[in-house]
Amino acid sequence: MDLEISVVQAQALLTGDNPPLLLDVREPAEYALACIEPSTLIPMGEIPARAFQELEEDAPILVLCHHGVRSVTVAAWLRQQGFERAQSIRGGIHAWSTTIDPTVRTYY
């Protein structure tokens, strides 16, 4: 299983019969500007404290941030902790907005 997937692959998974958890690791202010529903917001800095309480180790998890840098870091960390099905969405919500859903606001 690749550490990163494209937004097209992510969309296919999210609209499938058993969608993965969409984990947004941006900050609350960023999430307020633009988000993909349904998603779970846990800012990157809170992942170590909350992952084992709020995430299922054996469940598929797609990690999302603004451009894909934080999400790949979090996905790699989650895998090291035993969340083997964690994957980062390459390009983040910006790529989602420009490729999949232009109604999701872009920001800088």
Q: Fill in the amino acid letter for 64.
A: L
From the list 7, 10, 61, 65, the catalytic residue is 65
CA distances from 54 to 21, 25, 101 (A): 11, 13, 28
| Cα dihedral: 86, 90, 91, 97 (round 10) | -80
35 catalytically annotated: no
Contact 65, 24 (CB under 8 A): yes
Active site residues: 65
